[in-house]
Amino acid sequence: MSKIDEIFQKHGFSAYGRLIAGSKSFYRKRHPNDDVIFNANIFIKSKGKIWYGDLNLTQDAKNLQKVCDDLNEEMIIVTEMLGRFDAENRPYEEIYNDAHASFIPNANEYNVRVYKGFKSVLIGNTNIVTSMGVDWKKIKIN
């Protein structure tokens, strides 16, 4: 097990991904105000993709911040289609531009995207339609 895997496990995330619900729609109905990303992908600049699985940012932010603190590196989170199927091989700056959330080491808040409309991202020969992030919003970690 890698050091990164150990850090994720230390803070309650399996090193081998995570499933928070058998039914996405049922989970969303039970947590309608939460920021949930099924099949999320986490990246850091020095290593690329380091983790994947389901996240509820509203509930997981505190532990994700602890992971980020231990890594001592900015951590970004992207949705499934923008972190898999060869999309993870794009330059980090491109992946960052599509990030849904970011965590900075030793902070008491994290950033989430404010969205407006849609855009198309070309990955190889595939166009992925995704939300267009236009700004960052700071969220306090409780």
C-alpha to C-alpha distance for 16 and 111, rounded to whole angstroms: 25
Query: What average pLDDT score do residues 72-76 get?
Result: 97
Task: Give me the percent of the chain exceeding a pLDDT of 90.
Answer: 54
Structure confidence at residue 72 as a pLDDT band (50, 70, 90)? very high
Environment class of 23 (CB within 10 Å of its CB; exposed 0-12, middle 13-18, buried 19+): exposed
What's the pLDDT score for residue 117? 67
pTM of the predicted structure, to 2 decimals: 0.85
| Residue 109 near residue 139 (C-beta atoms within 8 A) | yes
Q: Is the pLDDT of residue 95 over 80?
A: yes
What's the pLDDT score for residue 21? 85
What's the pLDDT score for residue 44? 95
Q: Tell me the pLDDT of the chain averaged across its residues.
A: 88
What's the pLDDT score for residue 119? 62
